[in-house]
Structure 1
């Protein structure tokens, strides 16, 4: 069941920042077509402050149906649309993607990309990612590369696009988990601690391209 025109959307953004992720914004659905929903620029509850959204921003939203039932879905910003008022165009979910359970998570895709890592003690190494997403990455670690949970690392990742262009995306990440592998290697799972929005959008764009490839195989 889809929301109706003029229904209120309650929105939380997936930014990788816990404080930001807990802020609830309200918007209203202005229009819909087969592929998209058009909503008003969201307002922060309590303050009435407008929230500027960028293309590629991911969000968790819900709308209420009869009896106050919350219907959740995940989406992302496709574009901005100038009408009588400024609207934000977001991806319309498939019917089976609207659930009674909130699933807040960034899109992640498996990908072996080159990652350069610098630890605070000066340790530097090159490795490959295991997966990447808008909220963090995972990469392979050898035994001699002493990375611990809680470590803050300065990194960049090499991101290739389908059109042949390549981007270097710098970020600072915190190791939230180390997963041991049978091969004596391990996987370090990082969440982004500091990343410029423009750089995050580059990763999200790559993830969307990869997801599209997976769906069309």
Structure 2
């Protein structure tokens, strides 16, 4: 037994040394498939986008808000009467500066807002009927400000629930976020965006000033 132990000790010593020095074992580098990578960090923009900001920045800021429950905005209220809007939505900003609604039956779900503009576009000379300088239509490819409406149109149903500051409402091709400086809405189909506020209508993305059609005060188009 003593002889067997001596042989084992001798074999162990041979495996741990080469030429009297400890054998150095080089670490095996990790394969590329196992190498760890640190994902890029992104920060949500804290401040609302300014005039002239890239549309990607505007959309990123809108998306950074807290999601609103879209099911709560399929109704409108007027004089104590609640109207179910089906697939359409209605909402207003906390300041009530902007009251918005879609109309899938007559405008393919495009967004219209009544905005309390401090300086609305003047009534065109060719306009006849009841002029509404704060009526804004936004279908993604165009924005018109000021138009003729003989009746409240879709707003006959009243106004929608309040969209709190910092919350994002998603519907159709749109996402809208309310803020103290205005209501920001983006259209994903056309990669455009608009800010609605009493100071005016601010376009982003492909929207550029364009010649307004008859009976329209101001227009932006892609």
Q: What TM-score comes out, normalization by structure 1 length?
A: 0.21
Which structure is higher in RCO with an 8 Å CA cutoff and minimum separation 6? Answer: 2
Larger Rg: 2
- Greater share of strand: 1
